[in-house]
């Protein structure tokens, strides 16, 4: 799925959730893969909107999201401020070493720690 498709999917799901409460209550996990999707997810808070229209999602997986990393701390803050059921986040990006070419990829936040764990989510981030 391309970024445009992700944006359209979130808009459609949000509209459905507004019209028919509980339509996505059966979903408990969301897995997003690919740079375009996760970057589009940050634009206009789409990822948080997706989590809000799926009230029982407690597990979020982000994979292949090297473009997400500069906004990771902001994403955590947006999720904390939103009303979601999220308790576990997994994020993986095997492309980072080649993208950053030897730069320390553990420096994701000012402290260098996992921002999801700092926020109280159980996280098994593998970066």
Nearest CA to 35 out of 79, 4, 83, 68 is that of 68
* Averaged pLDDT, groups of 10, the chain, 127 residues long: 79 90 91 72 82 90 65 78 83 52 39 61 54
**Residue 101: predicted pLDDT:** 41
Query: Is the Cα torsion angle 25, 31, 33, 35 positive or negative in sign?
Result: positive
Report yes or no on whether pTM surpasses 0.85. no
Q: What are phi and psi of 81, to 5 degrees?
A: -80, -20
Q: What is the pLDDT of residue 63?
A: 74
Number of H helices, E strands in the chain: 6, 4
pLDDT at 69: 60
| Extents of the domains making up the chain | 24-123
CA distance 25 to 21: 9
pLDDT value of position 94 = 54
pLDDT at 98: 42
CA-only gyration radius of the chain, Å: 15
Q: Of the candidates 39, 51, 37, 40, which has an alpha carbon nearest to the alpha carbon of residue 89?
A: 51
């Amino acid at each position: 799925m391309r970024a445009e498709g992700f944006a359209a999917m979130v808009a459609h799901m949000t509209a459905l959730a507004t019209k028919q409460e509980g339509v996505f209550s059966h979903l408990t996990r969301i897995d997003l893969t690919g740079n375009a999707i996760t970057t589009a997810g940050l634009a206009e808070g789409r990822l948080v909107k997706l989590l809000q229209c799926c009230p029982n999602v407690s597990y979020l997986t982000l994979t292949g999201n090297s473009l997400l990393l500069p906004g990771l701390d902001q994403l955590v803050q947006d999720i904390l401020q939103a009303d979601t059921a999220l308790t576990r986040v997994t994020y993986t990006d095997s492309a980072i070493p080649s993208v950053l070419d030897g730069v320390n990829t553990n420096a994701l936040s000012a402290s260098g720690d996992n921002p999801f764990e700092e926020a109280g989510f159980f996280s098994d981030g593998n970066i």
